[in-house]
């Protein structure tokens, strides 16, 4: 009963996935949540208010202009009552209304009138999801702090295949658990020191050239921000990125893997948690040319030598912090991630498939599967801010379990 005493307004809008709302309500109630369902008019073409009233145990609200309903629990009261508003399914139309700040029905009005966080589980045809207008709207909503859960990929009701399926009720329920866990974690990291590597490294070839990769630093910085907000003292050891330093975090700028290694090993023995999110170059140039290399032959070779493995060296410390690695894979994600977890002696590894479009390197979104000895957890596709909160809550849970 992890959602006991939590008040959730479930907004149901008009998509075929609305038929899954009854199951979602049941799963949230199984965890002890109080549910009030708000339906749009078009949602009622897919599932009846009576069904949702029966499973939620509360009257369903569907009109802004119903004096009887307003007298019972008016839209402002509902907006204040909510600890969280979840819109599932969230259609392209509802997403556009939220973005524009419209208040032409009960659900959009409640969303404007609430100070509670809002989460949406988009559900629409894959072409509608990829439409520039929808993607622009999603960016605006993400920037405003609206949590985006999904969508998932697969076969759609219309026969298309692609992104746009609403997440399964179980996954949405797990997002709710993560959300409330991360709120509860707000002060639980108080007094802890977290050290996080982020961004790429640059391995010099000569004074003007280097070897690097596509890491933007967004994932590592989002983790730093989430840990700081949860009360930790956070230091980021950062490769060259164009991301603003999160409020109240320390930042050490480095260029190469050797520099990152030196700072990490110096600081790691005094921290509680070390997270290696940086995309560290595995190799560096054996002999960096002091002068710019001149073009001459048709081909040239560079001798590369192996860089030290930062996260493995931290995990080998006698006073080892709780050590979390990342695995950026393009195939056999679970197999390679578990191999790294074991080989590098990590407490946990967060694996991402960096071959999937729209996630991983330099994207605003990501999806992770987190592995530890005898356990794992899927953190589905969402924006990196939200994902980082879930990862921090997962790390915190694991640390509690280990003590
Ligand atoms: O920065 P973004 O654009 O937001 O992208 C995020 C990300 C894709 C970079 C991030 O989610 C991610 O996957 N980071 C790890 C990238 C990586 O180098 O993975 P890897 O599988 O090659 O390395 C495994 C682990 O060893 C990582 O924790 C890495 O930091 C660490 N490592 C690797 C080499 C080395 N010499 N020292 C290390 O510590």
What is the domain partition of the chain in residue ranges?
7-183, 188-402
Q: Say if residues 218 and 362 touch (Cβ distance below 8 Å).
A: yes
CATH number of 7-183: 3.40.50.1950
CA–CA gap between residue 166 and residue 161 (Å, rounded)? 13
Task: Choose which residue among 198, 199, 215, 347 to substitute to test ligand 1 binding: the one with the highest number of ligand atoms within 8 A of its C-beta.
Answer: 215
Asked if residue 94 lies in contact with residue 40, where contact means CB atoms within 8 angstroms, the answer is: yes
Q: Which residue among 311, 312, 321, 385 has the greatest number of ligand 1 atoms within 8 angstroms of its CB, and so is best to mutate?
A: 311
Ligand 1 pocket, CB under 6 A: 197, 199, 215-220, 257, 276-280, 282, 307, 309-311, 325-328, 340, 352, 354, 360-362
Q: Give the DSSP letter of residue 292.
A: P
The reply to whether 188-402 shares the fold of 7-183 is yes
Q: Among 211, 282, 325, name the best residue to mutate to test ligand 1's pocket (greatest count of ligand atoms within 8 A of Cβ).
A: 325
Q: Atom 13 of ligand 1 has which residue's CA nearest to it? A: 328
403's CB contacts (< 8 A; 6+ apart) are none
How many of the other CB atoms lie within 10 Å of CB of 278? Answer: 29
Tokens 């879930």 found at: 390
Closest ligand 1 atom to residue 219 Cα is 4
Phi and psi at residue 76, in whole multiples of 5°? -70, -40
If phi over 0 gives left and psi between -120 and 50 gives alpha, with beta otherwise, what is residue 162? left
d(CA 159, CA 165) in angstroms, rounded, equals 12
Instruction: State the pLDDT at residue 186.
Output: 62
The per-residue pLDDT for range 129-177, each reduced to its tens digit, is 999 999 999 999 998 999 999 999 888 888 888 899 999 999 999 999 9
Tokens of 155: 């076969």
Residue 358 CA to ligand 1 centre (angstroms): 18
Q: What is the largest CA-CA distance in the chain?
A: 84
Scanning 4-91, the segments in alpha helix (DSSP H) are 21-30, 49-56, 67-73, 75-81
Q: Distance between CA atoms of 223 and 392, rounded to whole angstroms? A: 7
CA distance 370 to 213: 23
Expressed in angstroms and rounded, the spacing between residue 319 Cα and the centre of ligand 1 is 23
Nearest to 397 by CA among 141, 124, 182: 182
CA 202 to the chain's CA centroid: 26
Distance 329 CA to ligand 1 centre (A): 10
Distance from Cα 229 to the centre of ligand 1, integer Å: 23
Extract the residue ranges of the chain whose pLDDT is less than 70.
1, 72, 183-186, 403
Answer positive or negative: Cα dihedral of 164, 169, 170, 172.
positive
Closest CA to 145 of 174, 188, 179: 179
pLDDT tens for 360-388 read 999 999 999 999 999 999 998 889 998 99
pLDDT score of 160: 87
Looking at ligand 1, which residue's alpha carbon is closest to its atom 23? 327
- CATH number 3.40.50.10300 is the correct assignment for the domain at 188-402: yes
- Taking the centre of ligand 1 as the mean of its atom positions, its distance from the CA of residue 338, in whole angstroms, is 14
Overall size of the chain counted in residues: 403
Q: What does the DSSP 8-state code read for residue 345?
A: T
Note the pTM of the prediction, 2 decimals: 0.66
**d(Cα 224, Cα 2) in Å, to the nearest integer?**
26
The pLDDT score that the predictor gives to residue 272 is 98
Query: Any idea what DSSP says for residue 200?
Result: B
Ligand 1, closest atom to CA 368? 11
Average model confidence (pLDDT) across the chain: 94
- To the query of whether residue 176 is one of the catalytic residues in this protein, the response is no
Closest to 378 measured CA to CA, from 332, 319, 334: 334
């Amino acid at each position: 009963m992890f959602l006991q005493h939590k008040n959730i307004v479930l907004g149901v809008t008009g998509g075929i996935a609305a038929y899954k709302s009854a199951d979602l309500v049941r799963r949230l109630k199984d965890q002890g949540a109080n549910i009030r369902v708000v339906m749009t008019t078009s949602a009622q073409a897919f599932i009846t208010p009576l069904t949702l009233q029966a499973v939620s145990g509360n009257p369903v609200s569907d009109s802004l202009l119903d004096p009887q309903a307003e007298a019972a629990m008016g839209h402002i009261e509902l907006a204040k009552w909510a600890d969280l508003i979840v819109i599932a399914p969230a259609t392209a139309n509802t997403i556009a209304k939220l973005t524009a700040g419209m208040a032409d029905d009960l659900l959009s009005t409640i969303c404007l009138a609430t100070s509670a966080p809002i989460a949406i589980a988009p559900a629409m045809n894959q072409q509608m999801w990829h439409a520039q207008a929808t993607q622009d709207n999603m960016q605006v909503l993400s920037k405003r702090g609206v949590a985006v859960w999904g969508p998932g990929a697969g076969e759609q009701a219309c026969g298309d295949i692609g992104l746009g399926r609403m997440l399964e009720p179980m996954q949405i329920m797990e997002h709710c658990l993560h959300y409330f866990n991360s709120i509860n974690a707000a002060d639980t990291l108080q007094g802890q020191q977290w050290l996080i590597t982020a961004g790429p490294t640059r391995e010099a070839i000569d004074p003007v050239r280097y070897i690097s990769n596509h890491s933007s630093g967004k994932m590592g910085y989002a983790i730093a921000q989430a840990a700081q907000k949860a009360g930790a003292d956070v230091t980021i050891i950062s490769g060259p990125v164009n991301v603003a330093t999160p409020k109240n975090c320390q930042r050490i700028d480095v260029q190469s893997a050797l520099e990152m290694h030196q700072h990490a090993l110096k600081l790691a023995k005094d921290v509680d948690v070390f997270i290696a999110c940086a995309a560290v170059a595995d190799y560096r140039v054996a002999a960096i040319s002091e002068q710019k290399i001149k073009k001459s032959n048709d081909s040239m070779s560079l001798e590369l030598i192996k860089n030290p493995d930062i996260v493995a060296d931290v995990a080998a410390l006698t006073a080892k912090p709780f050590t979390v690695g990342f695995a950026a894979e393009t195939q056999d994600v679970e197999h390679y991630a578990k191999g790294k977890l074991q080989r590098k002696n990590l407490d946990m590894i967060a694996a991402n498939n960096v071959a999937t479009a729209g996630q991983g390197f330099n994207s605003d979104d990501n999806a992770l599967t987190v592995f530890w000895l005898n356990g794992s957890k899927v953190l589905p596709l969402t924006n990196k801010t939200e994902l980082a909160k879930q990862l921090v809550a997962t790390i915190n849970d694991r640390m509690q379990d280990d003590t």
